Structure 1
């Protein structure tokens, strides 16, 4: 596998493959970075801010595409990002304009698999979550409620838990531990 340099966009949020998030870009450096990504100078990676550590973010990030953008009334830019490929951040350096660039290595994404049996409850609960949160639902042109990996990743993006705990689940080889975790969480609130 070959390493690749990517621009880092960091937030206190999680974005995983096939997920979507809307972010606001304000400062000129980040606006320039967006322009450079559109020009194909480098790829973009979305990473979760890390309060302490040798890197400014957690070492697991997601390469993403900018799939939509709008200029807002205050001249900031609203971007809709879609996760493509999980990556490991090997190193990161801050440029003069305060932007971060990272040397990354691709990681294996979770494989698509059918959601079955009692885990269908997780899919139904996610569908209800989107009904209550239409702003999140509107980001998607298609939802894949039949795919265990897709459903698991969407739950990890929205669950109110510490990012470091989410990343323990993200770094598993498949979605099974996340399915178990979310199912137990839902059952504990139903009982």
Structure 2
């Protein structure tokens, strides 16, 4: 799928998707089923944006101004009218303007934000990467023990524990912080600053 920089459909959710992050979705509303089918047919992503005001179901919600492209990497239709998706975060984007289609699907004209440049973990943050790797390994091991072949990891297949932005993003997904705080981390374009905030949180809560 190619990134888009024009009008894209939006999936407004009570969650924040980060670049490279894995987001499973259960799609059953007609507007979103149509959206997903169109995206798969055209091989394009859709946008995932945190809800600022409103609900996930029904009338189009008011989104935050920054979201993340979601690429469909797998799907299943085990029952009529329900699609199970496995999506992965792509580029972040900033919403320029929105419009609502007759079927209540929200669309946005967007500007793609710069992708994080690969940045090697600094010595003072190596504990962040090492601890994250242990947590991912533990979650995956427990999942395989409990579910066997049915287990799907909540993390990307390829771990980039040497990359500061990747490490900061994965911590931002799993830390028990408010959605608004998670959204601010998504919006922060300064990779070292994003990881420094995560590192300070981990120290304050005695995780490191």
What TM-score, normalized to structure 2? Answer: 0.81
Secondary structure at the aligned position of 1:35 is classed as helix
Q: Which of 143, 166, 175 is matched with 1:150 structurally?
A: 166
Report what 1:63 is aligned to.
69
Report what 1:86 is aligned to.
92
Secondary structure at the aligned position of 2:24 is classed as strand
CA distance in structure 2 between the partners assigned to 1:74 and 1:40 by the alignment: 22
CA distance in structure 2 between the partners assigned to 1:22 and 1:110 by the alignment: 23
CA distance in structure 2 between the partners assigned to 1:161 and 1:51 by the alignment: 19
CA distance in structure 2 between the partners assigned to 1:137 and 1:151 by the alignment: 16
Report what 1:176 is aligned to.
192
Tell me which stretches of 4 or more aligned residues in structure 1 moved more than 6 Å: none
8 Å contact kept, 2:45–2:72 = no
Report what 1:167 is aligned to.
183
How far residue 168 of structure 1 moved from its aligned partner, in angstroms, is 2.4
Secondary structure at the aligned position of 2:132 is classed as helix
CA distance in structure 1 between the partners assigned to 2:192 and 2:85 by the alignment: 31
Report what 2:8 is aligned to.
6
Deviations along 1:100-134, one digit per CA (max 9) or x if unpaired, are 11111111122111112121111122123223433
1:63-142 pair list within 5 angstroms: 63-73=69-79, 75-134=81-140, 137=153, 139-142=155-158
8 Å contact kept, 2:136–2:155 = no
How far residue 41 of structure 1 moved from its aligned partner, in angstroms, is 8.1
Q: Which of 46, 49, 64 is matched with 1:47 structurally?
A: 49
Question: RMSD of aligned C-alpha atoms?
Answer: 2.3
How far residue 73 of structure 1 moved from its aligned partner, in angstroms, is 4.3
Report what 1:19 is aligned to.
21
Name stretches of at least 5 consecutive residues in structure 1 with no aligned partner.
Answer: none
8 Å contact kept, 1:5–1:43 = no
Report what 1:33 is aligned to.
35
